[in-house]
Amino acid sequence: MALEDVLELKQQLQLRAPWIADHTQRVADFTDVYLDALLFREYPGLNQSYADKIKFAAHMHDIGKSLMSPDLLNAKEFSAKQRKSMRFHPISGFNMLLDIDFDVALMIRQHHENYWGKKGYPDGVQGDDISLGGRVLRIVDSFDAICSVRPYNSSPLSYVSTLDHLRESPHYDSSLLAIFRKLFYTGACVIDNPKKPAANIFFLPQSPVYSQN
Ligand SMILES: [Fe+2]
Ligand SMILES: [Fe+2]
């Protein structure tokens, strides 16, 4: 698929499910700041060009949902069949991005894979078999999903409770998560105010926190 076609689908998705557009923008904002911190710390396996791909993948991570009906996108609860359809979106997104950039396509395919336990989807891969981009998106996407209002969740957790929840879960790469948590806690200026734009939550990039271990 050509990039312009994918962007058109993204726009259509935005109209059919504005909450997904808001979620995607927050995930992209968090990912931007998070990756700048990881680059500053020279996180193994990460360089500027791969980080740029992750940032792009953040904008596109749920693009596979553009193939779903508005009813399904905005459902308050899911039947087993609907859940199965919903779980196909990483594969749809992978197929859409495949001709544009394989690394990005793979990150999108893997953004719901679990670091431990092989219980993620769609492939059930785990550990470092999940691309670094997939592991980064898994954290940031879950963080926003758990602490934001969605059609099927009107009682989101606070930022602090969400971070605790992530820490207790086996779904995330713990070394990456530790940096996400540290970045958040040291830089948080508006904790527990979900109305603030995501980028305001993190500290500025000039912060000395980036040089801490
Ligand atoms: Fe997703
Ligand atoms: Fe998402």
* CATH number of domain containing 142: 1.10.3210.10
Q: Extract the tokens encoding 196.
A: 């603030």
**Closest by Cα among 145, 174, 180, 152 to 62:** 145
What is the reported pLDDT for 202? Answer: 53
Backbone angles phi, psi at 150, to 5 degrees: -135, 165
- Give the integer Cα–Cα distance in Å for 210 and 40: 7
Q: From start to end of the chain, where are the E strands?
A: none
- How many C-alpha atoms does 162 have within 13 Å on its Cβ side? 23
Mean per-residue pLDDT over the chain, rounded: 87
**Closest by Cα among 51, 131, 60 to 94:** 60
Query: What's the gap in Å between 211 CA and the centre of ligand 1?
Result: 31
Burial of 160 (0-12, 13-18, 19+ CB in 10 A): middle
Number of folded domains in the chain? Answer: 1
Q: Span 122-130, mean pLDDT?
A: 98
Minimum-distance ligand to the CA of 150? 2
Residue type, 165: H
Does residue 60 carry a pLDDT above 50?
yes
Query: What's the gap in Å between 208 CA and the centre of ligand 1?
Result: 33
Query: What's the gap in Å between 140 CA and the centre of ligand 1?
Result: 11
Query: What's the gap in Å between 209 CA and the centre of ligand 1?
Result: 30
Query: What's the gap in Å between 206 CA and the centre of ligand 1?
Result: 31
Neighbours of ion ligand 2 (CB under 5 A): 62, 141
Q: Are 62 and 24 in contact (CB under 8 A)?
A: yes
Number of CB atoms found within 10 A of residue 201's CB: 21
Return all residues near 48 (Cβ < 8 A) that are at least 6 apart. 39
Percentage of the residues of the chain whose pLDDT score is greater than 70? 87
* Confidence at 187, pLDDT banded by 50, 70, 90: low
pTM for the whole structure: 0.88
Return all residues near 32 (Cβ < 8 A) that are at least 6 apart. 55, 58, 199
Query: What's the gap in Å between 145 CA and the centre of ligand 2?
Result: 7
Query: What's the gap in Å between 125 CA and the centre of ligand 2?
Result: 19
* Confidence at 160, pLDDT banded by 50, 70, 90: confident
- Give the integer Cα–Cα distance in Å for 187 and 129: 31
Query: What's the gap in Å between 111 CA and the centre of ligand 1?
Result: 6
Q: Span 167-181, mean pLDDT?
A: 95
- Cis amide prior to 122 (ω within 30 degrees): yes
Containing domain of residue 47, as a range?
3-211
Query: What's the gap in Å between 61 CA and the centre of ligand 2?
Result: 6
